[in-house]
Structure 1
């Protein structure tokens, strides 16, 4: 009798466990479905993750307001979508993790489209042209990547420049001191070290480099060298399952390109039209 009771309890326990597990799995599934619906609901505010020091794409002014090319473009896109948008400062090195965890809905801050990143995120259509360039001080007489031999290089941790630096070592990595680079949380700090002489070059986005130099008291003191890295483009990153959101973003970006909005914003922030034309 006792053995039968134990067997019944054991079976009941297993059934309860199975039921709870089913509820748990169903809850996860329903949660994902609700989330997919939410990002396409006009009542839902889309959260944009950005490095709020990345001039001129998305950065904070002295009053704390976030401004920049991508901020303006995001706001224009939000109008096309009929949906609110908000900006969340994140650790740029953790951007894909933040997206995957649902802390943010979009990575939109001079985010370069690369094959490596395409394995983790879905990209919108490209909207802006960019390339990696070497920024130096003219007084150091560095006119080519070869001139960086045994000199210290700085770059931002988690940037596309870091990826190219590691993937194509013959272009620059094998030339610089120690075959390594000094990593920074943001480009602002990297440029301060360049000015102080702690490094002799900074590898970064041409868009950022041009804007930063134009803000200096003596822009002529700087040298921009193109080197051997090929051109790249900026796009919006999102979760791969957010397919409807991607379609809506692509349509909005296409309309903003055709009506000249992206070109006008490019002239405003970069003094030239860097729009990607299909």
Structure 2
């Protein structure tokens, strides 16, 4: 009888275990199949250690951090693969609305304003705001900020909290910047008096810059970090279930210890703190130089593609302007007017964020950059090429026409080669401009030279050294391009 009971209990236990495994498996398969894909795309702003940042050791380009570990755990539990893309913080929600990603993890707080546009998970981590300032300024409480300039990161909960503080304390002037390292540098340069920054991030900067201090702002409001989703996303419920499980199993506590401990923050920050002022120590970025150098091929690829395609498009536009057909001339002039009359950064943002919504095509950041710069440079090149064509002696056009040479062949074989030779210096200048302007694509997450330097600066809690090194790289590239163009121009002159 006892053996029967033991056998029945054993079978019941095995059945329960198998049922839970099957249920969990079917739940993850259901979560994956409900979206019709097996990969989730997470978008983040990887300049916010220890939440998310680049591991730059050995030149690697891998985004790591507290949020990344949580996302990997959730994706694994739900049966998905995980893809991570990046953007500036103030571009995360627009990217989510444009369906460029399935969810956002970037230490984001679910404010009422954000909840109007996106859905949020439950809170997975609570942090506190702090006042960061130079030690000798004695700015420890919000009352001390009266009639002071205060820096905040654009689009963050700290910006909103600072606006509330400004309503309570007279004379506060807020200055919004894109990245926390920029805010810290503004404090050190004396352009602002203090900044409101999250405590975990403030601790890292204070450890790396011994002339800084931070003090927690007391608050009765309960806020924290949550995962953002597009409105009506089916992922909210399964994500919440996994987050709740991670809380119950103390897995979140383990990750907090891993990423927010004193040892981790010290390792993430610079090995030799700067003691204030403009003391530069380039030895701090030596281990990260391979990482920054990896941005060179991408910058050159972007520049060459933009120049090549822009030259073709500019030639088409210039021919439309001189063809004598009024509709084509009017369209080409109107196009040039629009693209020369609006900021390049605005055009880039519109192409990157609007294309998925308008066409359904998920254009990559590199494709958006090349397309935008092609359309923009084509407008400028069209005027340069038009001038070069009109500078060619009219006698050659008349001679070709008298010999019965078709217009298309005349332009291709006779006029355009001479025009391009005449405008070569102007084309070189346009190429140099594109090379330097390629830094703008860092705003949509392309990790080129400037973005690489900003990432290193965020990881090391420093500012000048990586940017100066990036400037040196740009200068060497521009000088190489200038020398190559001079050699080409000399050879063209000798062939005349």
1:239 and 2:230 matched: yes
Answer yes or no: is the 8 Å Cα contact 2:67–2:107 preserved in 1.
yes
8 Å Cα contact 1:131/1:231 also seen in 2 = no
Structure 1 residues 171 and 84, CA, compared in 2 at 3 Å: closer, same or farther? Answer: farther
Counterpart for residue 159 of structure 1: 156
User: How far apart in 1 are the matches of 2:204 and 2:248?
Assistant: 25
Paired residues of 2:67 and 2:105 also in contact (CA < 8 A) = yes
Partner of 2:240: 250
Q: Is contact 1:49-1:89 (8 Å) kept?
A: yes
2: distance between equivalents of 1:227 and 1:252?
31
Contact (CA 8 Å) 2:152, 2:196: kept in 1 or not?
A: yes
> Aligned ranges for residues 64-213 of structure 1 at < 5 Å?
64-172=61-169, 174-176=170-172, 180-213=173-206
Distance 2:118 2:33 in 1: 16
Shift of 1:61: 2.7
- Judged with a 3 Å threshold, the aligned counterparts in structure 2 of structure 1 residues 72 and 42 are, in CA distance, closer, same or farther, namely farther
Q: What residue in structure 2 maps to residue 26 of structure 1? A: none
In structure 2, the residue matched to 1:61 is: 55
Report the 3-state secondary structure (helix = DSSP H, G, I; strand = E; otherwise coil) of the residue aligned with 1:59. strand
- If asked which structure has higher relative contact order (CA below 8 Å, sep 6+), I would say 1
Structure 1 residues 61 and 153: alpha-carbon distance in aligned structure 2, compared to 1, 3 A threshold: same
Return the offset for 1:217.
5.4
Note if 1:226 corresponds to 2:217: yes
Structure 2 unaligned regions, length at least 5? 1-30, 263-496
Alpha-carbon distance, 1:235 to partner: 0.5
Write the distance in 2 (CA, Å) between the matches of 1:223 and 1:162. Answer: 17
Question: 2:38·2:79 contact (CA, 8 Å) conserved in 1?
Answer: no
Q: Is the 8 A contact 1:123 1:236 kept in 2?
A: yes
Deviation at residue 191 of structure 1 after TM alignment: 1.1
Change (3 A) 1:171 1:231: farther
Distance 1:170 1:148, change over 3 A: same
Q: Report the more deviating stretch, 223-232 or 182-191.
A: 223-232
State the Cα deviation string for residues 107-151 of structure 1 (Å, max 9, x = none).
111011111111111111111012222111211111212222222
Q: Secondary structure at the match of 1:255?
A: helix
Give unmatched runs, 5+ long, in structure 1: 1-36, 273-278
Shift of 1:38: 7.1
Q: Aligned match of 2:40 in 22, 27, 46?
A: 46
| Structure-2 change in CA distance of 1:147 and 1:217 (3 Å) | closer
Contact 1:132 1:231 in 2 (8 A): no
Flag the 1:42–1:210 CA change in 2: closer, same or farther, 3 A: farther
Structure 1 vs Structure 2 CA RMSD: 2.4
My pick for the range that moved more, 134-143 or 117-126, is 134-143
The Cα shift of 1:106 comes to 0.6
| Partner Cα distance (1:257, 1:81) in 2 | 16
**Cα pair distance change 1:206/1:229, threshold 3 Å:** farther
Map of 1:17 onto structure 2 = none
Cα distance in 2 for partners of 1:212, 1:61 equals 18
Cα offset for 1:42?
7.8
Contact 1:130–1:206 under 8 Å retained in 2: yes
**TM-score normalised over the length of structure 2:** 0.43
Quick one: distance in 1 between partners of 2:72 and 2:252? 12
